[in-house]
Amino acid sequence: MSLFDHFRQEERPFVERVLEWTERVRNRYERIQTDFLDPRQAFIVQSLAGREAGVFFMHFGGYAEAERTRGMLYPEYMEPTEEDVGLALLNVTGSNRLLPLEHRDYLGSLLGLGIKREKFGDILVHPQCGQLIVAAEIADYVRLHMHQVHRVNVVVENIPLCEIQVPAQSFRRLSFTVQSPRLDAIVSDVYRISRAKVLSPIRNGRVKVNWREVSDPSLYLAEGDVVSFKGFGRFKVTLLGGETKKGRVRLEVSVYD
């Protein structure tokens, strides 16, 4: 069995890149700093680094439960700290408190500045402000050029990471069984809509798995996969269990409110 058989076809370019990183660390004793990784990418890097003697991996996103993290591959003689990962925290306050800003507003403003998604991490939204975790090397650029979010004039300040405020995130757990862990079957059960009615949205790109658009309803989901369904919400596959006596697969998902 090839190493690539352990990963999805669309993940192959990223896997090849990580293998090149681990080779550089192993053979040249380099330290490789990554851009921000989503949880699936971080899992891939951790898995591949763990196969190589003398190659280690750490990642940090600004707080313990961060979804997107920035990583570092390093040889055993180095001992990097969380500070070495290269993060900055920006606090964004708006002039109009009557127009609340949402996650997509901050995301759109960052992308509108020409910043690639891999250069910033989690966006933490609060009633009075937003906090952006970004790569340290772009912090000044964002601070100097972000003047508006949606239709609200804003002021951006660089503040210490220790001042991060993490909003509480609520979710509900669902347990059920499916004939197979296909994307269409699981989405259908999570949102209680017929399987036939989820096929078109999937094929039209309204569903993402691990932050990547998918169009194949028969895609098999794995434990840890995060699925977002435009207009419905997001959930994570937290447990992919064994088969029941009737041959169905046990599943547990966390559905985010």
CATH code (residue 155): 3.30.70.330
pLDDT average, residue stretch 251-257: 89
- Same structural domain, 93 and 133: yes
Where among 63, 84, 105 does a domain terminate?
Answer: 84
User: What is the pLDDT at residue 98?
Assistant: 64
Domain final residue, candidates 119, 143, 163: 163
Residue 97: pLDDT over 90: no
In sign, the C-alpha dihedral spanning 199, 205, 211, 216 is positive
| Domain identity same for 178 and 243 | yes
CA distances from 141 to 29, 42, 71, 117, 253 (A): 32, 26, 22, 15, 39
Both structure tokens of 231: 């207009």
Q: Are residues 151 and 199 in the same domain?
A: no
pTM of the shown model: 0.79
Looking at the fold, whether 91 and 80 belong to one and the same domain comes out as no
Q: What percent of the chain stands above pLDDT 90?
A: 67
**How confident is the prediction for the chain on average, in pLDDT?**
91
Total number of domains constituting the chain: 3
154 and 183: one domain? no
> Domain containing 187 — which CATH number?
3.10.290.10
What pLDDT score was predicted for residue 110?
96
Q: Mark whether 147 and 105 lie in a shared domain.
A: yes
Same domain, 143 and 202: no
Same domain, 101 and 42: no
* Structural tokens at position 128: 């009075």
User: What domain range is 121 assigned to?
Assistant: 87-163
**pLDDT tens, position by position, 144-203:** 999 999 989 999 999 999 999 998 877 889 999 998 899 999 999 999 999 889 999 999
156 and 227 together in one domain: no
Where among 146, 163, 180 does a domain terminate?
Answer: 163
Q: Are residues 91 and 70 in the same domain?
A: no
pLDDT above 90 for 24: yes
186-225 pLDDT, tens digit per residue, is 999 999 999 889 999 999 989 999 888 889 999 999 888 8
7 with 75, same domain: the answer is yes
Whose structure tokens read 């998918």? 214
Mark whether 91 and 157 lie in a shared domain: yes
